[in-house]
Structure 1
Amino acid sequence: MVNTGDTAWILTSAALVLLMTPGLALFYGGMVRAKSVLNMMMMSFGALALVSVLWVLYGYSIAFGDSIGGSGLIGNPAEFFGLAGLMEDTTSEAGGLPAMAFVGFQSVFAIITVALISGAIADRARFGAWMVFVGIWATIVYFPVAHWVFAFDVDDVIGGWIANDLAAIDFAGGTAVHINAGAAGLALALVLGKRRGFGRDAMRPHNLPLVMIGAGLLWFGWFGFNAGSAVAANNTAAVAWVNTLVATAAAVLGWLVIEKLRDGHATSLGAASGVVAGLVAITPACSAVSPVGAIVVGAVAGVLCALAVGLKYRLGYDDSLDVVGVHLVGGLWGTVAIGFLADPDAPAGVASLFFGGSVDQLWRQVVGAVVVLAFSFVLTLVIGFAIQKMMGFRIPEEDEVTGIDTVVHAESAYDLASLGSSGSTAPLAGQARAEARNTERTLA
């Protein structure tokens, strides 16, 4: 029998997580220069469109189908191709949910993971090449990794090796989503190279209110991301909700303290970035730590990520919007922190090193994180270089200077010419009134 309460919660959570991708588009869009904002937002919307279709065709089957040969590496893509056989099935791995509710919930995780990568290559990627990358990367990187991490053994169906054999804890996607996307972002940044003027020219965010709005939408949607991963309206969801709130708040404070000490100012960009850092770090751990533990996870994430975003200048890679510094570093910390801070009284019921346990859970967390990082990084390098060789991934330098919005999309985010040379709308209003008077006289 279908549990209508759990079904309503999972569908609501899916809608919340879907909202995160437009929220990410605003967050990333505000962080780039004005001449690139539409392209940046289109990369998120393009991922949303293509991954949705691929998920229905074969993505869900690869991620949650019976593992081929019992290997725990990849689900059978033909088992649920086109979601065949799932429309009337009222069972799922959680029990009591229509299978299609679980399909929908997991689809939005796939979408946001791919969209996250785009921030690493802002200002310089061909949109067509990006869409080719989205399709290939989702197919051979995300869908298999989702199988490893999210597919649990159920009855005679064999799931992924990280979830079942390694038994690493990743409640809502620290490895499958954030480490995966962060490693891919680093690889693509290396493939495409640095933006023109990187490290020399000012590349400030063009619209900080957009960044703040985007961060707010991400925080809002993330309650569906984490609490929804309980796949039921229960105590686990409630604990995950509270931990998501408090860890994110602590991360904002941690980031702002570092900014104040280092730069003398606490900034809105820092607050927005701290929000994302905290959300990333608590994602794998929200069912395993106490609320006090969540504060520690978030505060450390805010400090670590605030320091890590400067690594690109020291190491010479151009991660445009700090996907590596926030998602890779934050995801690594949140995943490994479980081995130190997991509280046996939390829903996951695991005792960590600091709570009377041993290093057993710690090594499992480290292995899961490192394997996903290496897998994603290597395959993304191969995919990126192949696309660059075959069709060109990066736009020409003159197009980058002109602005990718104008060259690639034939659009501009802001029609500044309509404001007149003075930047005021008054001349336009006067012109409109004069034209209206002329029209009246003609009619008379």
Structure 2
Amino acid sequence: MTLSHPSRFASSAFLLLGVLLIAISLRSPITGVGPLLDAIRAELHLSATQAGMLTTLPLLAFAFFSPVASKIGAKRGLEQGLMLSLLFILTGLVVRSLGSTSALFIGTVVIGAGIAFANVLLPSLMKRDFPTRITTMTSMYVLMMGAGSAMSASLAIPLTEMANQLSITVIPSWAFALGALVIFPLIAIIVWLPQMRNHTAPSQDTQAFDSHSYLWRNASAWQITLFLALNSFLMYIFISWLPTILVDSGFSHHEAGVIHGVLQLFTAVPALVLIPFMNKFNDKRLLSLSLTLMALIGIIGLIVKPEFAMIWGMLFGFGAGGGFIVALALISLRTTSAQQAATLSGMAQFLGYLLAATGPMIIGELHELTANWQIPLMLCAFCAVLWSVFSVFAAKDELITPSEHDTPAPLVENLS
């Protein structure tokens, strides 16, 4: 009997370690591209729009592969589904690093599919296995995503320099830097292997839910969706283009990579600061508005005083990261059931990723037309103002309920 408790503790600790290692792999493959965009464009002769697609394609994959992920999780179990996610990410990283244009884009799509699977399955696993520590697990999960982002963004340029010093010519130096990221999913796969002995289904909330189709006609649901969508739209623009903006403003590639990494790290800081105190804010409107205004100040600062980019990057990262956490919290706080929350989450994330996918391409095309970054950044500032407006409406302290004309569909069980 005394041996069973240490055994259960060790099993939970190993499961937690596996979850955190998966989390590191979910944003680092995307954020590592930004500091290398100039080198990739020069080597492969990509237009600004094509370069923006490197950030756009994973977002499109997030939107379109998510339904597939839930079916795989229900049929094969969470453990096998998450292993498949890691294998996709690993394969995509290898293919993307072969050095050709076709491999670059094909690998990026495969990476996006792998990340989409984990985006859907990990929250269900945490709800199933850590039901009394969801808030703590969420903060750790977001923090590790931010840490992975910061490491990949900060190490991108040093890894290209290492490739040049080692005289690696089999693949371009930028491909070596992107390929080095395989270390994250590779370690996660090794740690996750013991979990493959299990074959368990997602939580019941994932398998059975009302259609709640009335949400698509509900103003409050659209306010939350647009709050999350504009957050993602701005965040992925900066993930994609900030290093190039900084280099064009006079920073070295190394300095731009470090600032980009700091921004990524600061998107994770709110996970430590906000989540433990989230329940203390009965009215979330002031909190959400403050975060969006913080990001707006960061954007305006880049336009007016780009020499202080480190400060503006910190402000934008904290505001965008905090806004993302608040948006996810509002999905739970403003819904009346787990089933309604699942439907709203699907609506918000599907449309949010679709809008976010357009951001890097729009900014890249606008930069190419205007030959400067002032107008693209002014567009970002305008979107941040809209984001601030929707933050106030989205964070209202009232539940989303159907009108008298809207009757939710009956509960449908997934019997597969």
Q: TM-score over 0.5 for the alignment?
A: no
Higher alpha-carbon Rg: 1
Q: Which has the higher helix share?
A: 2
- TM-score normalised over the length of structure 1: 0.31
